[in-house]
C-alpha cells in the first residue's frame, strides 16, 4: 500500500509510536508498504520547533533528513500542480499544509495516514487510521 504520512504521523512514527492507531502502524509496517512524506511536513516541523511547540535532538532540517533516511520514506516535493490543487480540495480545513498533504495524496494516488478528523472526512480521499 502506498501511504502518505501527515506531519503528526511522521512525528509519531519516529518518536512516539504509541500515539499511532493499530491499523495505521500495521499498514506502515506491512511488507508491501511504500511510505511517502510531503516536503511541507519539513516546514511544519521547523515552524513548531521555532515556536517552541516541539523539541528535537537536532535541527529540524537534520531531523527530517534522518527520519526520511531511517524509515526509507519517499519525499514528495511541492509542485505547482500540488500547490494549485490544494486550493481546490474539498476540505473544510483552513490549514494550508494539510491542504497540500491532501492535494499530494489525491494527485499521487496515495492513502493518507492521519488522525485528523477533518482530513479523514474529506470525500474521495483514501485514509488509514
Q: What are phi and psi of 4, to 5 degrees?
A: -105, 115
- pTM listed for this prediction: 0.93
For the domain 2-128, what is the CATH code? 3.40.50.1010
How far apart, in whole angstroms, are the C-alpha atoms of residue 62 and residue 95?
25
Residue-range domain boundaries for the chain: 2-128
Q: pLDDT, tens digit, for every residue of 4-63? A: 999 999 999 999 999 999 999 999 999 999 999 999 999 999 999 999 999 999 999 999
Amino acid at each position: 500500500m502506498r501511504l502518505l504520512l501527515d506531519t503528526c504521523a511522521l512525528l509519531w512514527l519516529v518518536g512516539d509510536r504509541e500515539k499511532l492507531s493499530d491499523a495505521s502502524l500495521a499498514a506502515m509496517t506491512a511488507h508491501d508498504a511504500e511510505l511517502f512524506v510531503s516536503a511541507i511536513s519539513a516546514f511544519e516541523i521547523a515552524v513548531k520547533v521555532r515556536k517552541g511547540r516541539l523539541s528535537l535532538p537536532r535541527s529540524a532540517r537534520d531531523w527530517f533528513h534522518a527520519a526520511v533516511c531511517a524509515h526509507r520514506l519517499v519525499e514528495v516535493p511541492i509542485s505547482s500542480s500540488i500547490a494549485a490543487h490544494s486550493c481546490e480540495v474539498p476540505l473544510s480545513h483552513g490549514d494550508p499544509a494539510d491542504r497540500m498533504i491532501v492535494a499530494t495524496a489525491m494527485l499521487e494516488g496515495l492513502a493518507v495516514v492521519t488522525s485528523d478528523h477533518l482530513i479523514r472526512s474529506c470525500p474521495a480521499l483514501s485514509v488509514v487510521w
